[in-house]
Structure 1
Amino acid sequence: MSNDFYTSSILPYSGIIIKICRAYTDSQEDFEDYYQEVCLQIWRSRDSFRGDCKWSTWIYRLSLNICLTLIRKKKKKNQFYNVEAVGETLETEDITRFSDEDLSFLYEAIKQLSEIDRAVILLYLEEKPNKEIAEIIGTTPNNIGVRINRIKDRLKKLLDGKIN
């Protein structure tokens, strides 16, 4: 990967990539693997960007799809290696804590959502408009509005249980 491409086309959007990867991983090692894979795939597929949407939207979509694919591969692998799955379950209890305890609680609550709901709330927290979220997810803006309200309610219940 050329340093110029990374500096000009990936680094300015690293916050997007970090948030998505953090929401779909339970350990620092997995986070680093996912982040690296996302950056590599952005570089590999850069020529397929047609300009139909903003670069940031394309980065979101690509990052999300890569993380979901990696999760599915990991789940499939764990079905075949049950003994390893038990070990990984124990390791996920040592979730990497972030400097802000409230942020850590929020990410733990977000990880309890479905894969699609995680993506929706991350985009919402990035203050993306419902239309852009719908474009990334592949649904309608109205559906996104309804999902966001339901997700907020679910997160509130999850966070009230941890904080109170």
Structure 2
Amino acid sequence: MNKELEHKFVSNLEKNQNIVHKICRIYTNDQASHNDLFQEITIQLWKAYPKFRGDSKFSTWMYRVALNTAITLYRKKKRGIQTQDYDTVHFRIHVEEYDDATEQQLKVMYSAIKELNDIEKALIFLYLEDKNYREISETLGITEVNARVKMNRVKTKLKSIINP
């Protein structure tokens, strides 16, 4: 790939890396797994970037690739998360570390979210990112009506997990 494409990718990734961190937070339980998943998502984004046509916002496309990667790896969890070395990539991304101390108030919510299934996690994640139902449906590949129905069910489920 050419340097201009690489520069655009790195710039977009750095601007939107919190998306990936949040997905990693939902699908992992420790910092090492978080870092591994972040790396794997970055690799998959880089591999897919030449096919990004710009039909949607970069962040919407990034959500889809990141969530699909996390869900795929999560489903393979019983066999262990397999990550790849990507030595051919020569760029460096400044990674912002997630500070767990500043997120103490979110522990209960993250704990409850971890009890949801893969699709429910993706749905609530996009909702918490203030995505509207159109964006959620586009990202997950479901209808807007289906997104609304599923969201109401997930909200009810989370309430029952948090307040049994």
- Range of TM-score over shorter length: 0.7 to 0.9
TM-score with structure 1 setting the length: 0.79
Residue 160 (str. 1) matches residue 160 (str. 2): no
For residues 98 and 118 of structure 1, the distance between their equivalents in structure 2, rounded to whole angstroms, comes to 23
5+ residue gaps, structure 1, are 79-95
Matches within 5 A, 1:98-113: 98-113=101-116
Residue 14 (str. 1) matches residue 17 (str. 2): yes
State the identity %. 41
**Does the aligned pair in 1 maintain the 2:9–2:49 contact within 8 Å?**
no
Question: What is the aligned partner in structure 2 of residue 28 from structure 1?
Answer: 31
Question: What is the aligned partner in structure 2 of residue 84 from structure 1?
Answer: none
Q: Following superposition, which runs of at least 4 residues in structure 1 exceed 4 angstroms of deviation? A: none
Matched residue SS, 1:45: helix
Between 1:17-26 and 1:116-125, the stretch displaced more is: 17-26
Match for 2:56: what amino acid?
A: C
Choose which of 130, 139, 153 in structure 2 pairs with 1:150.
153
Question: What is the aligned partner in structure 2 of residue 71 from structure 1?
Answer: 74
Equivalenced residues, count? 144
Residue 116 (str. 1) matches residue 119 (str. 2): yes
Residue 54 (str. 1) matches residue 57 (str. 2): yes
TM-score with structure 2 setting the length: 0.79
How much does 1:4 deviate?
3.5
For residues 43 and 149 of structure 2, the distance between their equivalents in structure 1, rounded to whole angstroms, comes to 34
For residues 7 and 138 of structure 1, the distance between their equivalents in structure 2, rounded to whole angstroms, comes to 26
For residues 100 and 35 of structure 1, the distance between their equivalents in structure 2, rounded to whole angstroms, comes to 19
**Does the aligned pair in 1 maintain the 2:21–2:38 contact within 8 Å?**
yes
Match for 2:75: what amino acid?
A: R
Matched residue SS, 1:113: coil
How much does 1:99 deviate?
3.4
The structure carrying a bigger helix percent of its residues is: 1
How much does 1:7 deviate?
4.1
C-alpha RMSD of the superposition: 2.2
Change (3 A) 1:126 1:115: same
